[in-house]
Amino acid sequence: ENENDIYFVCIQNFKPQFVKMDCSYTEKEAAIFEKILELIITNDEKCIASRVVFESILANDLKMTQKEFGEIMARFHRDKWIESGPHNTIILHARAILEMQSFIMDTYRDDIYNCQICTRLLIRGLVCSNSSCDVHMHRSCAARYFLRLSNSTNKKSAYPCPTCKKEWNKNDVDSVLKTTKTTNENSDQQPTTTAVNKRQRTSRNNNNSTNNRSVRSSARQVISESDDDN
Ligand SMILES: [Zn+2]
Ligand SMILES: [Zn+2]
């Protein structure tokens, strides 16, 4: 119970490799997905252009035509492993982040964050504008946090970082609050106004609202034989 360390407890035993998670993909397709995962997570923007993925595939001797590439990318989209990101890029779908969580945390420890609010794995999200502060938040968590601030004080302009208290980037605040109003996303999670220390993680993955919903709605193809060791 060392509070200075970050522990990750993964409740569900998903296979580290994509091909073992979804046997309907060939090994080559799985290798492509893992390449996409790597390119996205190691990119500072946490997104990648399809063209870069294709070039990288060719550079890695995963022989494939442009047409085949288009087809497999469409399938990754359809199966909710990836989705469209900003400026014609692709990003990881919440399904990929949740189901491949342990693999991502083991493999890309230095390229990922924990959300300051919910403490869960965060790939893309908001970051504090104070360069000496390392606070990151999921957009949905930030929305609840900012919403609570806007409801609890009459000063609608005061949206401090939960840790360093520097005023949060106004564009971020406006954008997440706008999204919240239009989608009216509800949640039974309690927002937190004070910093949530990164601490041993014991909560289950499946009480998060948005992410989980999309994951649950996507049909998983489960092949049982020889695929549930450990
Ligand atoms: Zn969060
Ligand atoms: Zn901060």
Residue 153's pLDDT is 60
Sign of CA dihedral 167, 172, 173, 174: positive
Which residue in 194, 148, 142 sits closest to 172, CA to CA? 142
Q: What spacing in Å lies between the alpha carbon of 133 and ligand 2's midpoint?
A: 5
**Residue 190: per-residue pLDDT:** 41
Same fold, 18-110 and 112-183: no
Helices (H), the chain: 18-21, 27-42, 50-59, 66-78, 94-99, 101-107, 139-152, 170-183, 209-217
Residues around ion ligand 2, judged by CB within 5 A, are 128, 130, 133, 135, 161, 163-164
Q: How far is the CA of 223 from the centre of ligand 2 (A)?
A: 45
**Residues recorded for the chain:** 230
Using the mean position of ligand 2's atoms as its centre, give its distance from the Cα of residue 195 in Å: 10
CA of 136 to the centre of ligand 2 (A): 8
- The Å distance, Cα 57 to ligand 1 centre, comes to 32
Crossing angle for the helix pair 139-152 and 170-183, nearest 10 degrees?
Answer: 90
Burial of 183 (0-12, 13-18, 19+ CB in 10 A): exposed
Q: Is the pLDDT of residue 210 over 70?
A: no
Quick: pLDDT tens for 37-81: 999 999 999 999 999 999 999 998 888 899 999 999 999 999 999
Neighbouring CB atoms inside 10 A of 156's CB total 12
Helix, strand or coil for residue 193? coil
Measured in angstroms, how far is the CA atom of residue 145 from the centroid of ligand 1?
10
Domain ranges (residues) in the chain? 18-110, 112-183
Cross-strand partners of 167: 160
Question: What is the CATH architecture assignment of 112-183?
Answer: 2-Layer Sandwich (3.30)
d(CA 116, ligand 2 centre) in Å: 10
Confidence of residue 189 (pLDDT cuts 50, 70, 90): very low
Give the burial class of 229: count Cβ atoms within 10 A of its Cβ; 0-12 exposed, 13-18 middle, 19 or more buried: exposed
Mean pLDDT score, 116-130: 93
Nearest ligand to the CA of 145 is 1
Gap from CA of 226 to ligand 1 centroid (Å)? 35
List C-alpha distances in Å: 85 to 40, 45, 181, 211.
Answer: 11, 10, 21, 16
Class level of CATH domain 18-110: mainly alpha
For residue 225, is pLDDT > 60? Answer: no
